[in-house]
Amino acid sequence: MRGVRRALLSCGLLVAAGNALAAELQAQWSFRLLPGDAQLQAHPGLDAWKPATVPGSVHTDLMAAGVIGDPYVGAAEAGLQWIGLGDWEYRARFDVDAATLARPHAELRFDGLDTFAEVRLNGHPLLKADNAHRTWRARVDGRLRAQGNELQIVFRSPIRTLLPQVQAMPHKIAGNYPSPYGDEPKDAMVGNFVRKPAYHFGWDWGPRYVIAGVWRQVHLDSWDQQRITDLSVRTDALDADTARLSVLLQVEQVDAAATQKVVVDVLGPDGAKVAQISQDIALKPGENSVSLPLQIDKPRRWWPVGYGAQDRYTVQARLGDGKQDALASSVHIGLRTVQLQRDEDEDGGQGFAFVINGVPVFAKGANVIPFDAFPARVTRERLRRDLQAARDANMNMLRNWGGGYYEDDAFYDIADELGLLVWQDFMFGGGMQPGYDPAFRANVVAEARDNIRRLRHHPSIVLWCGNNEEETAWKDWGHGKTLKEADPVFAQKVWQGYVDLFGKDLRSVVAEEGLGVPYWSSSPSNDLDAKANDSRRGDKHYWEVWGNPALPPTAYLKETPRFMSEYGLQAWPQLSTVNAFATAEEQQIDGPVIQAHQKFLAGKGNERLLHYIEMEFGTPRNFADFVYLSQMMQAEGIALAALHHRASRPYTMGSLYWQLNDVWPGASWSSVDYYGNWKALNYQAKHFFADVAVAALRDEGTTRLSLLNDGRDPLDAQWQLRVLDFDGRVLRQERKAIRLPALSATAVARFSDAELLQGADPHRSVAIFELTRGDEVLAQRLVYFVAAKQQVLQAGQLRTALRAEGDHYVLQLRADALVRGIWIGFDGAGATLEDNAFDLLPGQTRELIARSTAPLSTLRTALQLQTLGDTLQSRPVASQDNASVERIH
């Protein structure tokens, strides 16, 4: 967890796409509980000023001041809800240099105020904010002093601000997660009425911390008579030969009309200048829109990972000599086209596929949630860590879910670089919004315009989506039915407000500002079609596995959507992550600290998790086995679903599991935990999302074999079937040549259990399906015939050796008999492995590269191995060679 630094901020220059170079405000920040606040009775003395960090939040400032402990450790959540009920005041004291004071025009720009904020400068009101997702600006011409300026920001509790009007409603619109802590009535939730990250009010994977504060940077901008306020580039036509573009400038002209030269330079991916425009433009007082045509020959297009390079260009614009900050701007762009293809089927279905540069892309990836409960703590390094984990797991798309916040520019910069497509939700996480209120809608439109303009130059963004699950909640979960029964007139008003906001307002803003990126009104939906969550039309969220009625993972094989944008299974993070918030004594499946970090079903989610673990593996012996088996179950179940989706191409064109990352350390559906540790799922995703893969999917005694090629070229190969017993005896074998078309899923064969086993014991047999080219195994999939708890898995069948080799280590594994579910850990040694969570066939040897700065002796001591045979059989392990290390049980 990153330490909170003290308040003195250094002054620097930030480049913001579409904006002038702007100076961060250099200030000494402090904070306090507002004098007279009711929370002072229980927390006396907090009306005294304490150092603050900006960007930051009240919670992290209180922790830095020693007032509260770490909100993630133990079961702290219930005792910290008072913070969200308080009104807090922040103060910044700063000086202004002579050059800034000499310019006739200046403004303070607040990139993030969370949320109800009253801002004063030198004792005079400056602005009132009511939206954490917007950029707020206030002119400060003539209000600045050379020394001793004081900026005051009072943050009002969103609960106390909105609760009276929500309670006064005769009939409530549906909210999300009611508070279990008494800080807000369960029948009067305010979260849907405030433009603030919804997850701050709690979710089924994260804590309820209703934060407040200056959560993004504050800038002091100053200029003379002109400034560039926005720069963007629209792609008008693009192919392999030519890119025809329009450079779009917004220029603010103060006072009288003028003529000014504008110069635009375009630098190619290698930094060389490839185009330039120079033109005189007439500027009238106020805002001016300027469009300049531009052509690039033989453009280097931006492609998603796996389809081509991620080339980007730099577009630089300047007015006149461009020497003043306000007269210059630059932006990095990628040249690509995007289409959301929605072809109608003969039987009334309708597809959902992303087409990039004319090539249909099967979307492979995951949903992204906020990276921390306190977003100002999220560093560029943490974003890169988790996004790199997505790319390393062969993902090409991430859905940025709507219950959080619009990510920092760094998120999209990294996605651009890595070739990860981004499905971007607007920030509506669920329930229903007061779209019937024109002021609320106008606030959202301003928010959308701010963020689209900030982010639209990123080639990674290929969809803007109105909200998460609000349409299906209204139509399918009873939200609409309940309100219609209580008050049909109000219900119609609420629904019409929804249509106005998500069907019209946001669609219009995306059309005006989004540079051609498509809009989708909700997920799941068919864009306001009659049915919201339809497997035959639009995108699908499928939660009958894990959610009610808690069907087995094989039910994934019976659900074939056009695009699966949510599905998932839970797992606990590894024990080193659990150790960060729970002592060894607290690590009990039903213990209060463990339940506090299990948010599904209000802490009872472990019962659901046990349901799935016991279905396949039986009852865990202890908490460590519970953690291990949860990860094995999650990985196997999601692999089944993802491969089914891929095998259904082109009918299905996307598989995004829930979820990539974590907001804090705890149980969740993530494949990468809060500290960046990969769960078994992320390792398995490397295989089931690989461009070339085998989908051998068994259900009800029949195995369907499909071969997958996401490459842009055909593939000549062979597929092979072997059936072995667990000791390695070959029971059946066949091999056939095949040519896999580009961008395809090829159905090859169906096999009954009887055909595969031919009388062999299903409890001790495995079928191996492989795609090979010569001696190279391109992809492999193992099929078992009974649940793991029914298999005759032997303990102690794995031999290991660890050696140093060059700048890395090599871990050798050899299986004497079949070994399932190998999990390799290096307790506290900080080692990383190229693969994990896999099976070894009888007699198979595999060598893995391990990287660590620790010496070999430390790694040998730290190495821990777990397998299903050892876990389920509870037998002593086999001997190891001299380089091997002790196992755990």
Q: What is the pLDDT of residues 618-636, one digit of tens each?
A: 999 999 999 999 999 999 9
Q: Name which CATH class applies to 225-333.
A: mainly beta
Distance of CA 644 to the CA centre of its chain: 23
What residues contact residue 356 under an 8 Å CB cut-off, 6+ apart?
303, 304, 307, 336, 337, 338, 421, 462
pLDDT tens-digit readout, 503-562: 999 999 999 999 999 999 999 999 999 899 999 999 999 999 999 999 999 999 999 999
CA dihedral 197, 200, 205, 206 (to 10 degrees): 140
- Stated length of the chain: 889
pLDDT band at 15 (very low <50, low <70, confident <90, very high): very low
pLDDT tens-digit readout, 118-166: 999 999 999 999 999 999 999 999 999 999 999 999 999 999 999 999 9
pLDDT tens-digit readout, 828-849: 888 999 999 999 999 999 999 9
Give the Cα separation of 187 and 198 in Å (integer): 17
Per-residue three-class SS string for 660-680? CCCCCCCCECCCECCCCCECH
pLDDT at 255: 84
| Residue 793 burial (CB count, 10 A) | 24
pLDDT at 884: 30
Fold exhibited by the domain 13-219 = Jelly Rolls (2.60.120)
pLDDT tens-digit readout, 216-266: 999 999 999 999 999 999 999 999 999 999 999 999 999 889 999 999 999
Same fold, 225-333 and 798-873: yes
What residues contact residue 99 under an 8 Å CB cut-off, 6+ apart?
none
CATH number of 798-873: 2.60.40.10
pTM more than 0.85:
yes
Domain ranges of the chain: 13-219, 225-333, 692-790, 798-873
pLDDT at 22: 59
Q: How far is CA 888 from CA 571, 657, 810, 862, in A?
A: 20, 31, 20, 11
pLDDT tens-digit readout, 773-818: 999 999 999 999 999 999 999 999 999 999 999 999 999 999 999 9
pLDDT tens-digit readout, 344-385: 998 889 999 999 999 999 999 999 999 999 999 999 999 999
CATH number of 692-790: 2.60.40.10
Q: DSSP character for 793?
A: P
The more confidently predicted of residues 535 and 875 is 535
Distance of CA 89 to the CA centre of its chain: 32
